[in-house]
Amino acid sequence: MADTSAHLVIKDLVVAPKSELTKHILDGITLTIRPGEVHAIMGPNGSGKTTLSYALMGHPGYEIISGEVHWKGQNLLDFSPDQRSRFGLFLAFQYPTAIPGLSVASFLRTAMNARRSGLVRDPEFDPSDPVKGGMTMGEFRKLVKEKLTQLKMDEAFMTRYVNDGFSGGEKKRLEMLQMALMKPEMAVLDETDSGLDIDALRIVAEGVNTMLSPELGVLVITHYQRLLDYLKPQFVHVLARGRIVTSGGPELAHRLEKEGYAPILAENGINPTADEAAAPPVAPAGA
Ligand SMILES: Nc1ncnc2c1ncn2[C@@H]1O[C@H](COP(=O)(O)OP(=O)(O)O)[C@@H](O)[C@H]1O
Ligand SMILES: [Mg+2]
């Protein structure tokens, strides 16, 4: 068997809301993402996109009915959301919460130290002691400065409160800064926020593009075809009714843009509802 220890492997995943266990929103998702690969999942409204990102995140409102998710050779579903992050998985929240009183700098430093302390917290770990695996304030500042430059962000950002009064674009910038500092090996980005303007899409795409590496796997979940103009996935999957109905390369996204979902669903034995047949939205006009 091939070495899958660095892959995210999703196998026959069936997911239901905790409140309605017989409703299988995801009805057998199978997908493997290897380091260096960029995958996009696209699907009509209600197809299960957000549920997939919630399931990977460990959202308490959803139950894994059956199936498996392996990451680095371990059962990801055994881990808490916090452990998933320590384990090198970055899951972008669709609706980031504001935390008045907590500065971006403190937030990021805490997050980075948590990531550095490893999957199993080492009792010897001291966040402020470089000898004990921690990071000095000077080290942290230097690193942040480097990433701010890389993402073309202003330093003033660091003293603001987390997401407090942030514009959609600023929330996305913080998300990208967080990702740059956490250095995940797998990033799952759910970009289905309907309030997302074209500027925010560009921030995410450019941010991810600057971080692409042979070690990073990326899964972008989107219903905005336009995102894929900036971020180039090698693999595109079409999700409908909780299943991946077909997979292909970038040409599949272009076909969706031209034809909408209806022909592709019909070819795969699904008689699309009016909702499903609606063309994938281009991003709403923005600044
Ligand atoms: N917690 C929940 N309880 C009941 N139904 C849900 C829940 N979450 C999602 N659904 C339903 O599951 C389907 C897929 O939802 P979702 O994953 O949000 O789709 P998408 O992100 O592709 O639009 C929708 O019909 C939605 O109403
Ligand atoms: Mg959604």
What's the confidence (pLDDT) of residue 238? Answer: 96
Terminal-to-terminal C-alpha distance of the chain? 50
Between the CA of 46 and the centroid of ligand 1 the distance, in Å, is 6
| 32 domain residue, yes or no | no
| 125 domain residue, yes or no | yes
| 281 domain residue, yes or no | no
Between the CA of 71 and the centroid of ligand 1 the distance, in Å, is 25
| 152 domain residue, yes or no | yes
- Interhelix angle for 137-150 vs 168-182, to 10°? 120
Tell whether the model's pLDDT for residue 231 goes beyond 70.
yes
Alpha carbon distance 136, 214 (integer Å)? 29
Alpha carbon distance 193, 197 (integer Å)? 9
Q: Contact 223/49 with Cβ under 8 angstroms?
A: yes
Q: Which of 8-17, 36-45, 195-204, 276-285 has the lowest mean pLDDT?
A: 276-285
pLDDT in tens, 188-230: 988 755 556 677 778 888 889 999 999 999 999 887 777 788 8
Provide the domain count of the chain: 1
Average pLDDT over residues 142-147: 93
pLDDT band at 286 (very low <50, low <70, confident <90, very high): very low
| 259 domain residue, yes or no | no
pLDDT in tens, 72-125: 889 999 998 888 888 899 987 656 788 889 999 998 988 888 887 776 667 777
| 3 domain residue, yes or no | no
pLDDT in tens, 56-87: 989 999 999 999 999 988 999 999 888 888 88
| 10 domain residue, yes or no | no
Between the CA of 193 and the centroid of ligand 2 the distance, in Å, is 7
Mutate to test the pocket of ligand 1, among 25, 62, 190, 192 (most ligand atoms within 8 A of CB): 25
Between the CA of 141 and the centroid of ligand 2 the distance, in Å, is 36
| 4 domain residue, yes or no | no
Structure tokens at 172: 């996305």
Ligand 1 atom 27, closest CA: 46
Work out which ligand 1 atom sits closest to the CA atom of 62.
1
What's the confidence (pLDDT) of residue 287? Answer: 37
Ligand 1 atom 18, closest CA: 50
Look up the CATH number of the domain holding residue 169: 3.40.50.300
Tell whether the model's pLDDT for residue 183 goes beyond 50.
yes
Nearest ligand for residue 239 CA: 1
Alpha helices by DSSP H, listed for 67-116, are 81-86, 104-116
| Domain span holding position 129 | 18-25+61-68+75-184
Tell whether the model's pLDDT for residue 278 goes beyond 80.
no
Give pTM, 2 decimals.
0.90
Nearest ligand for residue 48 CA: 1
Tell whether the model's pLDDT for residue 1 goes beyond 70.
no
**% residues pLDDT > 90 (the chain):** 51
